[in-house]
Amino acid sequence: MRTAITRGLAVLGATALVGLAGCAGTAGQSSEDAGGGDGVEYGATAEEYQEALADMDPVTLTYQPGAQSGQGHTGQAEQTFMDRVEEMSGGKITLEPAWGQSIAAFDEVTEATADGRIDIGVEIPIYTPSKYAAINELINLAPSTPASPYATEIATTAAMMEVAWNTPEIVENYESMGVAFLRPVMFETSNALMCTEPVTSLDDFAGKQIRVGSASDLAIVESLDASPVSMQFTEAYEALQRNTIDCTLGGLRIGSEYGFLEVAPHVTFPEDAAWGRSPTAVVAGPGYTNLPLAAQQLIFDAYAESNARSLEASVAFVADAVTGLQENGGDIERLEGDANEALHSAIDGLREKTLSSDALDGEDAANRLDEAYGKWIGIAEEEGHVDDGDYIGFADGYSSDPVDLSSYGQRMFEEIYLPHRPS
């Protein structure tokens, strides 16, 4: 069952906390370590925040969002975050956006945050696996849960987040690089294989040049006898347009937002697994961690509100993408039997790699993920979030019956994020 989204920011706040994890507390900061002062309760009014910040000098923080501009689903959510911070703080905190990765590339944001060029920024850990060894092992486990229009995706997102918060090696990883984190990982919805022509069988894969973004993508593509081409997703449109590559692996959100489906409208999904999922992280530097406690809490809460919109936007992008690929003469296909078997063999290999990892307790992480996914897919079903895997049918019905994740998001906040709110 899906219900229309008619709520405002107050309700979004409940879902929103899916994105902003517990920055200061998780990264080893306390009110004594940072700017000090008293905190406020979650759900505080603007007046209560402004009273708590009355003695703070106004500050401007540099925020590098993930979007290229303030337009579109993602950009609008990030702009809402910035506006909310300024409004709730009574102008005491201003976030200056650096759209389009104008300060640092997606794989250099952590360094730029640690040295103060950016105060808060979006990093993509898959581009530098050597920096994020423990997270990379979680990425290896991501293809094991099935792709779908949205139900299995929100369950996987919640399960991965729960595991990441409770994996000390991930926390220590950020600390060793001199940053706090506002979220350790948020996995996108399942990757799609977007191609210039249909690719579903092992014969179709032979000789294909496929853009990959992670080590797990590379292993999967090689298992299908195709040739992986490593590049950042921002370079894929031109490569597809010029026939330098035949396909790209990435979320339908990326395919829709960055125009890939205009030149690669033939999309393939596995039957009962996923191509993989790519996470983003949000890191914060001294400009954030040195703020008074109430200011950190305000940013935490405001970021969370905007991130709720991002969670639902990921689902909206699936519907947008399906419409877009159809407009460009494409369709959604399922992986054929021989290719599906090869994919499952690669997925098993990736899991074994994590089980034997020395970057974290891989067996424990894998077992916790299995348990967490079972819990969160059960919660999704309890909340009425069930789909039949029919992407075309989902997109056709979405405009009249969009997905409302407010109650599901509240469960995620209470069980995963609230314990990490700065305190």
**What digits encode the pLDDT tens for the residues 360-415?**
999 999 999 999 999 999 999 999 999 989 999 999 999 899 998 888 887 888 88
CATH class of 19-398+407-413: alpha beta
Query: CB–CB of 63/120 below 8 Å?
Result: yes
- Beta-carbon count within 10 A of 146 CB: 19
List the structure tokens of 381: 């079903």
240 closest CA partner among 315, 105, 330: 330
pLDDT of amino acid 333: 96
Q: What is the pLDDT of residues 247-305, one digit of tens each?
A: 999 999 889 888 999 999 999 999 899 999 989 999 999 999 999 999 999 998 887 66
Mapped onto helix, strand or coil, the DSSP state of residue 89 is coil
Query: Which one is predicted more confidently, 104 or 408?
Result: 104
pLDDT of amino acid 304: 66
Reported confidence tier of residue 173, pLDDT bands at 50, 70, 90? very high
The pLDDT mean for the chain works out to 88
pLDDT of amino acid 35: 61
Q: Which helix (H) or strand (E) holds 304?
A: helix 293-327
The yes-or-no verdict on residue 20 having pLDDT over 60 is no
Reported confidence tier of residue 52, pLDDT bands at 50, 70, 90? very high
List the structure tokens of 209: 């040049």
Query: CB–CB of 94/61 below 8 Å?
Result: yes
Q: What is the mean pLDDT of residues 218-234?
A: 93
Q: Please tell me the number of Cα atoms within 13 Å of 138 on its side-chain side.
A: 29
pLDDT of amino acid 257: 83
Query: CB–CB of 319/395 below 8 Å?
Result: yes
Q: What is the mean pLDDT of residues 356-361?
A: 95
